[in-house]
Amino acid sequence: MRSTEPPLTRARVVTRTTDVEEGSEVAETSVREVVMDQAMLVGAPVIGLNDSGGARIQEGVESLAGYADIFQRNVMASGVIPQISLIMGPCAGGAVYSPALTDFTFMVRDSSYLFITGPDVVKAVTNEDVTQEELGGAKTHTTLSGVAHGAFDNDVDALITLRTFMPFLPLSNRENAPVRPCDDPWSLSLSLSLLRTLSLIFLSDSVVTGHGLINGRVAYIFSQDFTVFGGSLSSIHAKKVCKVMDQAMLVGAPVIGLNDSGGARIQEGVESLAGYADIFQRNVMASGVIPQISLIMGPCAGGAVYSPALTDFTFMVRDSSYLFITGPDVVKAVTNEDVTQEELGGAKTHTTLSGVAHGAFDNDVDALITLRTFMPFLPLSNRENAPVRPCDDPWDREVDPELCHQGDLCCRRCLDINSSVKGARFVRFCDAFNIPIITFVDVPGFLPGTAQEYGGIIRHGAKLLFAYAEATVPKITVITRKAYGGAYDVMSSKHLRGDVNYAWPTAEVAVMGAKGAVSIIYHGKGDISEYEKEYVEKFGNPFPAAVRGFVDDIIEPRTTRKRICMDLTILAAKKLTNPWKKHANMPL
């Protein structure tokens, strides 16, 4: 039997409608089969407007066979053409399975229902009083069962919004996804703004995930919602985050996490903890493969703190974001220490003391805007070279003193525990993502003192050395003034496979400063001021290092930029590998 009505080819969309007033849906099953076959033949979506009481009892098994034929076509069409079901009334019995097999199922609030058996049967079997809405209404299936993907206020709203939704779908698997200009200021492709337009309610748990474009480049995002169970992590929450991270690694694009979570969902017990472990595992697997950025936009406690700590960059918002394993109440109970949230894990604490966060912003908007400015500096993945952009800013511009701290504010420019760890982390990130490393050196050595020694300055300083020595990307070093002792070696010296090492005429490359060196060499010889002058004359310049080939050239400061640009062009083709190993044993 063939349908006498031609398919709706103007929009290349084939629709099927069931009318409950005609008794049931199954009398029209053969028509539906023809419609679905035709849709697959021409490569066009199928939209079902469902309103059916189930199988026609009078036809017995023939009616059931009709359902089976439809289900078979649902399965065969899956992944070939988009299938959309719009539930416009009660659908019971076998009528519920076809919508469940389609790609998208939408419902109408207070008038559409999906259930296998109705309230009367439920009452007879379980003695449970339940209404149609409670048993299979739109709220039930969009927030609990997950059968439906969205709900609308009425039939007209559903149909109008469906017309808005259809252009986002390809006609079939033979066609690429539709491409449209993204003129909105944030260039998001489908995520939150679209869902708000459609008035859809998705079973999103306490996290929203998606992808979009930032300055024309793909990025994957997950955003925890503190208004839903305090942003706590459930198994569904974890699965959504894991899925978006897997997809990001698959296509090679950064992952941005907007973190605002109270920790594990206690009600789910070990399943919630397992969800955290799954995320941590993906953080580790993605490390060095795709950039990972965490933006802390509210309180994050318990297990929620470890994922940001595993990412490449962590940023916070002042006075509203917090990171701590245990909150002030627990600290008070265990240690009897009175401390506020801000003191325990605020932005100031983690950017100036713990080093967990890399920067802080005044508010959420400032954080998001700055993040958009930051992203173009990163490659999409380790398979991509570092971004290249024209440098047409004036070469003779005035140097802004706010760009860097003055020496007197930085422990006299010495390397300490914190600066060593910070530098090592940065160098390893650059090496992982093919970003050349340019090092300007003015360091008299490592900071002395018992606090540094007890804190493990040797081990932490070795991290920075290890990072430079292991790096295979282009490395250019400019010694501007002091390069003394072990700090000279550590800071990308020629001996650590530095590609190009320059020195300014003001550079001093020596074992130590003149006063300390002379006090050791000429110990007990009275006035040693003359010896200091002699030491400075002999070692307080870059020439001994240049003669020995440890410095490639002594350059005028004004030529530094030009020389570095030329060297980066030459070193772009650099190929260097380390000996094969499972992994190195970095001094952690």
The residues assigned a catalytic role are 302-303, 486-487
**295: closest CA among 347, 238, 349, 217?**
347
**477: closest CA among 491, 456, 487, 463?**
491
Instruction: Please give the helix or strand (H or E) that residue 514 lies within, else none.
Output: helix 514-521
**32: closest CA among 46, 52, 53, 11?**
46
**242: closest CA among 269, 276, 265, 291?**
276
Measure Cα distances from 128 to 121, 122, 133, 139 in Å.
10, 6, 14, 19
Instruction: Please state, in angstroms and rounded to a whole number, the distance separating the CA atoms of residues 64 and 73.
Output: 15
Instruction: Please give the helix or strand (H or E) that residue 373 lies within, else none.
Output: helix 364-374
Instruction: Please state, in angstroms and rounded to a whole number, the distance separating the CA atoms of residues 511 and 413.
Output: 16
**48: closest CA among 63, 65, 31?**
31
- Alpha carbon 246 to its chain centroid, in Å, reads 11
Neighbouring-strand partners of residue 484: 510
3-state SS class at 397: coil
Instruction: Please state, in angstroms and rounded to a whole number, the distance separating the CA atoms of residues 40 and 443.
Output: 71
Instruction: Please state, in angstroms and rounded to a whole number, the distance separating the CA atoms of residues 562 and 147.
Output: 62
Instruction: Please give the helix or strand (H or E) that residue 481 lies within, else none.
Output: strand 475-484
**141: closest CA among 96, 183, 79?**
96
Structure tokens at 146: 């997950």
Instruction: Please state, in angstroms and rounded to a whole number, the distance separating the CA atoms of residues 136 and 141.
Output: 7
Query: Strand 313-317 and strand 359-361: pairing?
Result: parallel
Q: How many CB atoms lie within 10 A of CB 277?
A: 12
Q: How many CB atoms lie within 10 A of CB 109?
A: 17
Could you tell me if 56 and 20 are in contact, meaning their C-beta atoms sit under 8 angstroms apart?
A: no
572-580: Cβ within 8 A, 24+ apart: 572/385, 572/474, 574/472, 574/473, 574/474, 574/499, 576/472, 576/497, 577/472, 578/470, 578/472
Angle at 87 between CA 200 and CA 179, to 5 degrees: 50
Query: Strand 299-301 and strand 292-296: pairing?
Result: unpaired
Label residues 184-220 b or e (16+ Cβ within 10 Å = b). Answer: eeeebbebeeebeebebbebbbbbbbbbbebeebebb
Could you tell me if 151 and 138 are in contact, meaning their C-beta atoms sit under 8 angstroms apart?
A: yes
Could you tell me if 67 and 55 are in contact, meaning their C-beta atoms sit under 8 angstroms apart?
A: yes
Please identify which residue in the block is written with the tokens 């400032």: 366
3-state SS class at 172: coil
H and E: helices and strands count for the chain: 23, 20
